[in-house]
Structure 1
């Protein structure tokens, strides 16, 4: 597969880029997997111009024709699932089984969005005059720039690509330079299925150069970004200057409120699996465990025992349960947070150290005694780091959950419907999981509030976000 990887500019594969080359690294072995072409402003501008032509062709097809092509793309993706999963594990580090689930879920997202694209209904408004009809229709916004991160190389881009295509938009896809191959393969599947060549581009290179060029390109009418709050502010400000629509899925720091009556037998195995899934590199990863005082010690001891069973290793090894972090910089960031917390009084319950000296492996880590002075309680760790804080009351837990200016994923565990209702009413977040951790499905909205961004990916809301509304009044 790696021998064929190239930039895609308006459907055309380019084996040379205007910004030179980039080495693709395996985070488990430190091996250079390939040397790939690197795009710059020139390719971004060209892709944007071609996307306008591709948009004219793609949007002219009926919703039913687009649906058939997208369903074909989903089937093609499923046919490449095993190969894609292994490649994703090699470039990003995650366990192959998790990569396979992600790739197939991304194909499901294409299927669901294709179906939803057939149902972008308008409406007839009762008129005030007998000889006038009033109708409301929805139309695709135009070419879209898709900016996706490295932690979910398939699902991340596809949360944007699938609803955009379903709405009738063309796409210029900018994956992370650390994980470009998965997005390239998605582009290949779309083109093979029959999406018009000029409607699909896949570019990687300097994030700032490509993003700036796409935001400024007059052909691009919407920006959809998943990234950090810092980058989100920059891109949103630039898009606002150009009066372009945006969807922003930014950082989180998911609280987990563990009430006194929580079922620890059910909670702890779930918490360990979801915390250390993808090495904790998940924007909705459970991170701040806010545990009621009477069960705090039992929760910590059970979490430690379960965490120490997690097998860390190369994601290609079937026995591995947690792979490496994707970049050395991310590992170093997590390690700094651990040392900062311990220096300020936290207790290192387990983990807290790098594994070996090859690859970006870090032990699954639990810290207790967390306080708000510690960096990890304020900045999203984005790694295999579980933070436990003792809570005297539910009010205290809600106050801590809402303390930060972010609100993406959040969780609560209780056997009481009254407590669950109180948390649902009081939490400031875009999503809340009660007694479980799964939040992202094709048919449900995914998004945050406050500094975690705005707009939804998934559900009917996603397809609508790639459309504009038009009123037509007709006097007969």
Structure 2
């Protein structure tokens, strides 16, 4: 890819080791969300392209799965080095097409190499075990084997951070993969896939497609070629794809939405908790599945926290991510502006206090003001629906048990945050909060070596950590009579 904001549709699909514009003429517009202007196009896959990708993944699975773990790791390490060398190019493309500030895009793109390296090492550590037997002449063991070709679906909010874990995890395990990437942010993903291509991933082991999401999933998931589905996205779409996969007995990993509680007890440093909370809330304009949304503050600390949090929100500079000093970019879609406004209006109509923001910012691009609501009733939509935008809820509690009950009230369970210096309080949060990830007194999520995933309606399975590669492996039990 060049540094030009224009992208050609000709290299958009990567199928069986070749870049192609696809078999049809459909194209998707690529927009700059900071201006609303079209800056490129991406080719959209047709059924024939998907069939070609399925055939390639099936054909490549045998040779790739039999490639030694040592060699797979070596290829992935070469891909990691290439990803680090091209991190700035990926970051620039990401900011143009997704909108996040360049500093955030650089962190995301710069971490791709770390994720690939982690899975490269995990490829060499897919250990089975020997099981003690009841008969001395029998040997019992387990062997971990790649599950088969994978269909992976990733979102636009972290276009590199989400897809790199799926690609690297599948390849490390010996699986082949068809990655359906977001049409909104193709350029940075194309650069990433070229890193794997140039590192020596064989033809067919990695395939990249863009297209109409419902068409792609309806074609790939029922295919007998696909043995595993990995999806990151909304709860509603995840439920639909999970049901489709279940009908065909496909294994799934589902990393879905959240509505993370952020519990601050009155013994903690309030200014510190507010600064971290605002940074996490308004990162990527709030378009983060693990973003804290319900800030539950103990009564004695509420006023000080609210004052510091609002000041942090008001200090943000909105603008195009490539501009110096910009600290929050736009929403990714024009339709999200109406969604944010509807949530704010509903909350205020039901008695919530609007402390700052609450409206669109400017008339160009898809910007929404950093917004803080206080004393929001449970009946408000935003208390029950994931906002996926720059809106924070500040509510108060008296006893920690009230905050834990509110944390568990919703069917979501992706991430949670807690702040207290008192051991009995942090232990109560560890024991009591129903969540896949809990970060206490700091932000500690999403490192390559740690599992990332939720419970309840936020999905199942994990990416990252030693759990990440397990998602692409199946266990074969062997019982052998000697002699």
Partner of 1:158: 164
Q: Distance in 1 between matches of 2:285 and 2:222?
A: 35
58-67 vs 171-180, which deviates more?
171-180
16-25 vs 61-70, which deviates more?
16-25
106-115 vs 53-62, which deviates more?
53-62
Alignment of 1:355-366 (within 5 A): 355-366=361-372
1:248 to 251, 254, 257: 254
Alpha-carbon RMSD across the aligned residues, in angstroms, is 1.2
| Residues 45 and 217 in structure 1, CA contact (< 8 A), matched pair in contact too | no
Q: Distance in 1 between matches of 2:25 and 2:304?
A: 55
Cα offset, 1:19, TM superposition = 6.2
| Residues 263 and 415 in structure 1, CA contact (< 8 A), matched pair in contact too | no
Partner of 2:149: 143
Partner of 1:377: 383
Indicate the SS of the match to 2:268.
coil
Q: Distance in 2 between matches of 1:134 and 1:82?
A: 50
Q: Distance in 2 between matches of 1:241 and 1:45?
A: 20
Indicate the SS of the match to 1:8.
strand
1:96 to 96, 102, 107: 102
Indicate the SS of the match to 1:451.
helix
Q: Distance in 1 between matches of 2:183 and 2:381?
A: 28
Indicate the SS of the match to 1:48.
helix
Deviations 1:83-135 (A, max 9, x none): 11000001100111111111121211000010011000111112222222111
Partner of 1:169: 175
State the TM-score, normalized to the length of structure 2: 0.97
Q: Distance in 2 between matches of 1:358 and 1:40?
A: 34
Indicate the SS of the match to 1:428.
coil
Matched, 1:200 2:197: no
Indicate the SS of the match to 2:409.
coil
Cα offset, 1:366, TM superposition = 0.5
Q: Distance in 2 between matches of 1:308 and 1:143?
A: 48
Q: Distance in 1 between matches of 2:406 and 2:133?
A: 51
| Residues 444 and 458 in structure 1, CA contact (< 8 A), matched pair in contact too | yes
Would you say how many aligned residue pairs link Structure 1 and Structure 2?
Answer: 476
Matched, 1:354 2:360: yes
| Residues 449 and 466 in structure 2, CA contact (< 8 A), matched pair in contact too | yes
Q: Distance in 1 between matches of 2:47 and 2:163?
A: 20
Cα offset, 1:49, TM superposition = 1.7
Q: Distance in 1 between matches of 2:375 and 2:86?
A: 46
Q: Distance in 2 between matches of 1:128 and 1:282?
A: 52
Indicate the SS of the match to 1:402.
helix
Matched, 1:444 2:450: yes
Alignment of 1:116-127 (within 5 A): 116-127=122-133
| Residues 70 and 114 in structure 1, CA contact (< 8 A), matched pair in contact too | yes
Matched, 1:467 2:470: no
Cα offset, 1:29, TM superposition = 1.3
State the TM-score, normalized to the length of structure 1: 0.98
Q: Show structure 1 runs of 4+ deviating over 6 A.
A: none
| Residues 275 and 308 in structure 2, CA contact (< 8 A), matched pair in contact too | no
Partner of 2:27: 21
Q: Distance in 2 between matches of 1:295 and 1:301?
A: 10
1:115 to 121, 125, 137: 121
Please, which runs of 5 or more residues in structure 1 have no aligned partner? none
Cα offset, 1:182, TM superposition = 2.2
| Residues 331 and 383 in structure 1, CA contact (< 8 A), matched pair in contact too | no
Please, which runs of 5 or more residues in structure 2 have no aligned partner? 2-6
Indicate the SS of the match to 1:358.
coil
Partner of 1:430: 436
Alignment of 1:249-328 (within 5 A): 249-328=255-334
389-398 vs 372-381, which deviates more?
389-398
| Residues 331 and 389 in structure 2, CA contact (< 8 A), matched pair in contact too | yes
120-129 vs 320-329, which deviates more?
120-129
Partner of 1:415: 421
305-314 vs 14-23, which deviates more?
14-23
Q: Distance in 1 between matches of 2:248 and 2:263?
A: 41
Q: Distance in 2 between matches of 1:26 and 1:168?
A: 37
| Residues 143 and 219 in structure 1, CA contact (< 8 A), matched pair in contact too | yes
242-251 vs 291-300, which deviates more?
291-300
Indicate the SS of the match to 1:233.
helix
Cα offset, 1:305, TM superposition = 1.2
Cα offset, 1:17, TM superposition = 4.5
Deviations 1:386-433 (A, max 9, x none): 111121221111111100011000001111111000111000000101
Partner of 2:4: none
| Residues 7 and 17 in structure 1, CA contact (< 8 A), matched pair in contact too | no
| Residues 95 and 102 in structure 2, CA contact (< 8 A), matched pair in contact too | yes
Q: Distance in 2 between matches of 1:439 and 1:21?
A: 36
